[in-house]
Structure 1
Amino acid sequence: MKGIQLTKSEEELMEIFWEHRTPLTSVEILEMTKQVSWNGNYLHVMLRSLQKKGLIKVSGMRRYGNQYARQFEAAVTKAEYGANLIMSKGLVDSISQVTVAMARQAEHADKAELISQLEEIIKDLKET
């Protein structure tokens, strides 16, 4: 997934997968995105592109009448994708500085919870 860049539409589609957290068919996605006016062909192009980039995967089939549709789900979390974006910007050597800057930017975050999560991450990293 290193250095993956998404189009605005691909990013919007990934947001749908991250938000719903369940496998979705193209039929379901088209129903959810009527306001965006993606047509079926364009959606299938985006699904193939995201699958090729390793961001979604086929996770099953669902029957619609006498046809079957593939179900897709996210293959990476939103956090993993975000980390990939940061790393692709050449910030690998300053991960700790980026983490601190992001923690300071999180105005609405519960600071005690954030500290607890960071301590857990540090503990896990020390163990591995």
Structure 2
Amino acid sequence: MKVSHLTKRENEIMEIFWQSEKPLSSNDICLEAPHISKNTVQAVIRKLLSMNFIEIAGLGYNKNALTREFSPCISQAEYFDNFLVRDTSFELAANFIRRTEDINELEQLEELIRERKEAL
């Protein structure tokens, strides 16, 4: 899947989606970023939907009105990975492995590597 670069405003709203653990409505976005107008939020949501960065996750309530809720279709890591060359991706992974002091993260990486080797 070819991924487009996000504009500053699109990226700002995607950051809010990536940080959230639950689907968000346009009103939720406005509460998280009060400096962005509701019209701008709604326009960016429409654009992100058309770009397949977000999807409709369900319906929720905003006061007494039904509202659509959205969730990301692409993770932040997947987005940035599209713009890295293979050497840079390897260097980032190697640097992370060298610097981390979390045994659980290293064990998770080992399991991912083991699963990928078996799939190949």
Please state which band the TM-score falls in when normalised by the shorter chain: 0.7 to 0.9
Contact 1:61 1:70 in 2 (8 A): yes
Contact 1:21 1:73 in 2 (8 A): no
Q: Percent identity?
A: 31
- Report the count of equivalent residues: 119
Cross-structure match for 2:112: 121
For CA contacts below 8 A with separation 6 or more, give which structure has more relative contact order. 1
User: Structure 1: 5+ residue runs without aligned partners?
Assistant: none
2:93 is aligned, of 96, 99, 108, to 99
Contact 1:23 1:73 in 2 (8 A): yes
User: Structure 2: 5+ residue runs without aligned partners?
Assistant: none
Matches within 5 A, 1:55-94: 55-86=53-84, 91-92=85-86
CA shift, 1:8, in A, is 1.6
Counterparts of 1:78 and 1:69, CA distance in 2: 25
Q: Which amino acid aligns with 1:100?
A: A
Cross-structure match for 1:19: 19
Deviations 1:65-100 (A, max 9, x none): 5532110111122222222232xxxx1466434422
SS in 1 for 2:19: helix
SS in 1 for 2:59: strand
Counterparts of 2:8 and 2:63, CA distance in 1: 33
Counterparts of 1:96 and 1:117, CA distance in 2: 17
Cross-structure match for 2:8: 8
Normalising by structure 2, we get a TM-score of 0.81
* Counterparts in 2 of 1:9 and 1:103: CA distance versus 1, 3 Å: farther
Counterparts of 2:46 and 2:25, CA distance in 1: 13
Counterparts of 2:60 and 2:113, CA distance in 1: 42
SS in 1 for 2:66: strand
Contact 1:25 1:71 in 2 (8 A): yes
Q: Which amino acid aligns with 1:82?
A: F
Please report the RMSD computed on the Cα atoms of aligned residues, expressed in angstroms: 2.3
